[in-house]
Amino acid sequence: MSVRQTHIIEDCERCFEALFNAKISGGVPWSRWETYLGFPEEDVLSQLEKPVIYTESPKYIEEIKQQGGLGLGLYQMYFGAWDDRKTGGPEEINIISSYILQLFRNTKTLHTTTFSVTLGGTSYSGKTLTDMGIVVQGIRDTGEKATEDIKEFRHEYEIMFMA
C-alpha cells in the first residue's frame, strides 16, 4: 500500500485523478477531455479548453473491521464530467459517461490500468490502483446535475472503494 493513512483523503483523490490522466494520455476519445483535482468553480471552468472530468474528496464511510486491531477503510467518492459549452450538445457528455462506466464496471481493466502519481513528494510510476492500496467496489451513476446554462452538461458518479 502506498497511499498514506495520514493523507488518505488527498492521496486517494490524486490516484483517481492520475488514473483518468493515464486514460487521457492513451488517446481518443479520452484525449478529448482533461482532468481537474477538486470541484471546478466557474473561474476554473472558464480556463479549461476541453470537457473536464473532476474529482471530489473521498468521504470515509465505515470500517471493514477485524477483531484485535486496525480495520480497512471504506470510502465514498464523487467525481463528475462537465461540458460547459465546449462541444455544444449532450452527445459528448454521454460519451464521457459511457467510457467512465465502462472503465469502472470492468473491474479487471480498472485495477490493472497503470498510472503515475506523486504523493507527498514521492513519485510512483507504472502503478495500478491495487498497487497503491485501493480497491473499487462499485460505481453508481448519480445522474445529471443542474447547470445554469442549458447548453452546459454535467454528470456525476459515486464510487465506493477500500483503502
Partner 1 sequence: MAVTDILPAPPENSYLRGQDALHRYVICDASASAPVAWTNLSYVQSVVVGDVTYGVEYDIRHHGAGDKTHVKREPMWPVTINVLNGKKAEVLAALQNITWSSASVALPYHVSNDTPDCIIESIFREADYTHRFSQVIQDLIIDDTSQGIPMEYEDGVITGHTYYPPFYVYAGYEAVYDVWDATPTTLTYTLSCSTPASMVTATDHNWWELDNAAFVKLWDNSADGFYRYTTGVAISGGTLTVTGATPSATDKVYTLYVKATS
Q: Which residues contact partner 1 by CB under 8 A?
A: 63-69, 71
User: Cβ distance 14 to 32 under 8 Å?
Assistant: no
Burial class (CB in 10 A: 0-12, 13-18, 19+), 34: middle
Tell me 149's DSSP state. S
Please state the closest distance from residue 67 (CB atom) to partner 1, in A.
4
What angle (nearest 5°) sits at the alpha carbon of residue 157, between those of residues 151 and 158? 155
Shorter beta-carbon distance to partner 1: residue 62 or 141:
62
Shorter beta-carbon distance to partner 1: residue 63 or 91:
63
Please state the closest distance from residue 64 (CB atom) to partner 1, in A.
8
Q: CA end-to-end span of the chain, whole Å?
A: 8
Distance between CA atoms of 56 and 154, rounded to whole angstroms? 14
Please state the closest distance from residue 66 (CB atom) to partner 1, in A.
5
Shorter beta-carbon distance to partner 1: residue 8 or 135:
135
Number of residues written out for the chain: 163
Please state the closest distance from residue 53 (CB atom) to partner 1, in A.
30
Shorter beta-carbon distance to partner 1: residue 66 or 122:
66
